[in-house]
Amino acid sequence: MKQLTKAEEQVMQILWDIKKGFVKDILDKMDMPKPAYNTVSTIIRILEKKGFVSYTAYGKTHEYYPLIEKNHYRSFYLKSMMSSYFGGSFERLVSFFAKDNDMDIHEMEELLKNVQNDIKELDTKNKTNE
């Protein structure tokens, strides 16, 4: 999987949100100043070549939909960022965010509790799939 540019990610965020749509639907969801129709159309075609979107054709019109789930891309992106900036260390990543956001002990305990709950959910899910 390839990392998305800012423009590609903006279009994907909209597609993930609306589930499927035409270029005009994507444009309608964009903030002002809106890019040109052709610009969005070009970005969609790039996303199609990268394997992120596909479409259903209605004559000359295409209705686009995501092929990659938002959570799947988010996981890829975070792992890539963690590898590039934190030497692949989850502890360094969490430590950075804790320091950068001036987290107090209560917030850190909440974070730890959430991570532990997520791990339990994954373990349960993995055991069910076995």
CA separation for the pair 12, 67 (Å, rounded): 10
CA separation for the pair 44, 24 (Å, rounded): 12
pLDDT per position as a tens digit, 46-79:
999 999 999 999 999 999 999 999 988 888 888 8
| pTM of the predicted model as reported, rounded to 2 decimal places | 0.71
Q: Are 68 and 52 in contact (CB under 8 A)?
A: yes
- Tell me the β-bridge partners of 62: 57
| Cα-based distances in Å from 65 to 23, 32, 71 | 11, 23, 15
> How confident is the prediction for the chain on average, in pLDDT?
87
